[in-house]
C-alpha cells in the first residue's frame, strides 16, 4: 500500500485529503507546517508528498529542496492557485512531479497521484557484462519517448522543425533555450528520434533537481563504499545512455565542480565513477537546455566558459507560447485528444468563448500549463463541447484580476496595518453588510488575499465554505455551479 504525506497549513484541507485518499486505498499521514513535515520525513519514507505551495513557515520551493535531499526518489505534487503558476513552474524545475490547482477536484487529484506513483523511477538491476560476481543497482532516469509529439503551425515553430531536421543527423551537441514548460525536452526527443541513435537510450536528467552531493553520482555513477551510503555500485546516467542521447535540462543549475568533470566527458568521451580509478569509454550525444543564456552565466562566473564553448556547436531558441498564439488551439486540441483517451471521454471541441479565452490568456507555464487546463476542463465537461464554466476562475477572468491590490493608503474600512508594515484586512461582518454590487468585489478581494484558497477566503469573510460557495453562485463571473 502506497504511503502519502499531505502537507497543508489548512487543517480542514489536511483532514479532507486524508479521508479521501484513505478511502481510495492509500496510507496517509499529514503535517500542518513545513517543519512538521521535515520532522516526519526524517523518520519515515513516503512514496509521494502532496504539498501546498504556500505554508505559514516556508514555501513549497524550500520544502521541496529538503524533501529531495532526504528522499531523492519520492514524487512531490504541489497544490497551488493559478495566481501562483509562475512559482509552480519554478518548483517543477526543481524536481516536483506536477502541480494541481485550487479548487481541488477528487477525480483530477486522484488521477495525478496514480500517474505519479506509476511513473516513479524503480530500482533496476544491471549486470556488468564482464563480471558475474558483481551486480549494480541504478536508478534509471526517464527514458520513455512520446510518440504523439505534435508541432505548431506558427512561422517560429516551423523554423524550429527545419533546425531539428538539419542538426538531427549530425553528432553536434545542441543547446536548447526556452522558458520552462515550452517543450524543450520534446524537441530534444525529436532530435534523438531523427538521428542515427534513434534505437538507443534517450535519458533525460533535470539538473535543477540534483543536489551538489548527488549530481556527480547521478551523472557518472559511483563505486561501492566511495562515500557514506554508497552500499552498492551504481551506473551513472551517462553510462546508461552509452551510444544514445543524454538530455541535461536546466544545465545552468549543475554544481560548478561537476561541470569540470562534464568537460572531460565532452572532450575525451571518457567518464570515471565517483570513487573509481578506471576510465570508461562512452559514446553519447549530449543535448542541453537552459531558460537563461549560458553565455551570460559564464560571464557572471556561474558556468564554465570552456564548457559553454564545447556545447555551443548548435543552438535552438524556443519561443514562449504567448509569442506564437497561432499554436495555442492546435496544442489545445492535441491535449484534448490525449485527455479523451486517458479518461475514456468523447469531448469534441471548445466553445467560441473558450477559444477566445485560451487565445488571449498569458500562458506563464507555457505548454505545461495549457495541458493542465485542458485536462481539468475535459474532466469537468458534461457535454461534447468545453464551456467557459469548466475553466479555472483565474483563467476565465484573467484580465479582471490584473488590477493591483489596494495600497496601504487606499485600504478599505476596517483594515489594519500589521507589525511588518503589510496591510491586513479585517473582513468580519463585511460580507453581510455589503450590498449585492459590492459583494462581488469583497469576495474577489478575499480570494486574492487567500491566493484563491476558498477555505481560507471563507475564514477571512467570517462565513463557512458552503456560504461562500452560495454567495459566489450569484455571480456568473465565478463560474460556480
pLDDT reported for residue 461: 86
For the chain, the average pLDDT equals: 80
What is the distance of C-alpha 150 from the center of its chain?
Answer: 20
Mean pLDDT of the 355-380 span = 91
Degrees (nearest 5) of the Cα angle 154, 158, 160? 120
Task: Return the domain boundaries, the chain.
Answer: 3-118, 123-317, 324-382, 403-478
pLDDT reported for residue 355: 94
Q: What is the pTM of this model?
A: 0.60
Going by pLDDT thresholds of 50, 70 and 90, the confidence category of residue 96 is: confident
The angle, 0 to 180 degrees and rounded to 10, between the axes of the packed helices 106-118 and 11-23 is 70
Can 3-118 and 123-317 be said to share one CATH topology? yes
For cell 449585492, the residue is 436
CATH topology of domain 3-118: Rossmann fold (3.40.50)
Architecture of the domain spanning 123-317: 3-Layer(aba) Sandwich (3.40)
For cell 550525444, the residue is 285
Cβ atoms 111, 21 nearer than 8 A: no
324-382: CATH, from 3.40.30.10, 3.40.190.10, 3.50.50.100, 1.10.8.60? 1.10.8.60
What percent of the chain lies above the pLDDT cut of 70? 79
Q: Residue 430 and residue 422: Cα distance in Å, rounded?
A: 20
Q: Does domain 403-478 have CATH number 1.10.10.10?
A: no
pLDDT reported for residue 82: 58
pLDDT reported for residue 479: 59
User: For residues 64 and 123, which has the higher predicted lDDT (pLDDT)?
Assistant: 64
How many other C-beta atoms can be found within 10 angstroms of the C-beta atom of residue 184? 24
- Residue 265, pLDDT > 90, answer no
Least trusted range by pLDDT, from 39-48, 211-220, 225-234, 461-470: 225-234
Q: Long-range contact list for 81-86, CB < 8 A, 24+ apart?
A: 81/53, 81/394, 81/451, 81/452, 81/453, 82/392, 82/393, 82/394, 82/395, 82/452, 83/394, 83/401, 83/448, 83/451, 83/452, 84/53, 84/54, 84/451, 85/364, 85/365, 85/369, 86/364, 86/365
Amino acid at each position: 500500500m502506497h504511503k502519502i504525506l499531505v502537507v497543508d497549513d489548512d487543517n480542514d484541507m489536511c483532514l479532507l485529503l486524508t479521508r479521501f485518499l484513505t478511502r481510495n486505498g492509500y496510507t496517509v499521514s499529514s503535517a500542518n507546517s513545513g517543519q512538521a513535515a521535515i520532522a516526519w520525513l526524517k523518520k519515515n519514507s513516503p512514496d509521494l508528498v502532496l504539498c501546498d505551495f504556500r505554508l505559514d513557515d516556508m514555501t513549497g520551493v524550500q520544502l521541496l529542496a529538503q524533501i529531495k535531499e532526504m528522499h531523492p526518489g519520492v514524487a512531490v505534487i504541489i497544490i497551488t492557485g493559478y495566481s501562483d503558476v509562475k512559482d509552480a513552474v519554478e518548483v517543477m524545475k526543481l524536481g516536483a512531479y506536477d502541480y494541481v490547482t485550487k479548487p481541488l477536484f477528487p477525480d483530477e487529484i486522484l488521477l495525478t497521484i496514480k500517474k505519479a506513483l506509476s511513473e516513479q523511477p524503480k530500482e533496476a538491476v544491471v549486470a556488468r557484462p564482464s563480471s558475474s560476481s558483481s551486480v549494480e543497482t541504478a536508478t534509471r532516469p526517464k527514458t520513455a519517448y512520446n510518440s504523439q509529439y505534435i508541432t505548431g503551425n506558427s512561422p517560429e515553430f516551423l523554423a524550429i522543425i527545419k533546425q531539428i531536421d538539419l542538426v538531427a543527423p549530425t553528432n553536434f551537441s545542441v543547446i536548447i533555450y526556452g522558458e520552462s514548460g515550452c517543450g524543450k525536452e520534446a524537441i530534444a526527443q525529436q532530435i534523438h528520434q531523427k538521428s542515427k541513435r534513434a534505437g538507443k537510450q534517450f535519458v533525460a536528467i533535470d539538473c535543477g533537481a540534483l543536489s551538489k552531493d548527488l549530481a556527480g553520482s547521478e551523472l557518472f555513477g559511483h563505486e561501492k563504499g566511495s562515500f557514506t551510503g554508497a552500499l552498492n555500485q551504481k551506473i551513472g546516467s551517462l553510462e546508461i545512455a552509452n551510444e544514445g542521447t543524454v538530455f541535461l535540462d536546466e544545465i545552468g543549475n549543475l554544481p560548478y565542480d561537476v561541470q569540470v568533470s562534464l568537460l572531460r566527458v565532452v572532450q575525451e568521451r571518457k567518464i570515471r565513477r565517483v570513487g573509481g580509478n578506471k576510465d570508461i569509454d562512452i559514446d553519447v550525444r549530449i543535448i542541453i537546455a537552459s531558460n537563461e543564456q549560458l553565455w551570460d552565466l559564464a560571464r557572471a562566473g556561474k558556468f564554465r566558459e570552456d564548457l559553454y564553448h564545447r556545447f555551443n556547436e548548435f543552438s535552438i531558441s524556443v519561443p514562449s507560447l504567448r509569442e506564437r498564439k497561432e499554436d495555442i488551439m492546435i496544442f489545445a486540441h492535441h491535449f484534448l485528444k490525449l485527455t479523451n483517451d486517458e479518461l475514456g471521454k468523447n469531448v469534441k471541441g471548445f466553445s467560441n468563448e473558450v477559444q477566445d479565452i485560451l487565445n488571449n490568456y498569458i500562458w506563464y507555464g507555457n505548454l505545461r500549463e495549457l495541458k493542465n487546463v485542458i485536462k481539468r476542463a475535459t474532466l469537468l465537461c458534461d457535454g461534447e463541447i468545453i464551456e467557459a464554466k469548466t475553466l479555472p476562475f483565474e483563467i476565465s477572468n484573467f484580465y479582471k484580476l490584473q488590477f493591483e491590490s489596494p495600497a496601504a493608503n487606499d485600504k478599505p474600512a476596517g483594515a489594519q496595518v500589521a507589525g511588518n508594515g503589510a496591510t491586513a484586512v479585517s473582513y468580519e461582518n463585511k460580507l453581510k453588510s455589503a450590498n449585492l454590487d459590492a459583494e462581488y468585489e469583497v469576495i474577489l478581494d478575499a480570494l486574492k488575499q487567500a491566493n484563491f484558497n476558498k477555505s481560507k477566503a471563507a475564514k477571512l469573510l467570517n462565513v463557512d465554505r458552503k456560504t461562500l460557495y452560495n454567495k459566489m453562485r450569484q455571480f456568473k463571473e465565478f463560474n460556480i455551479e
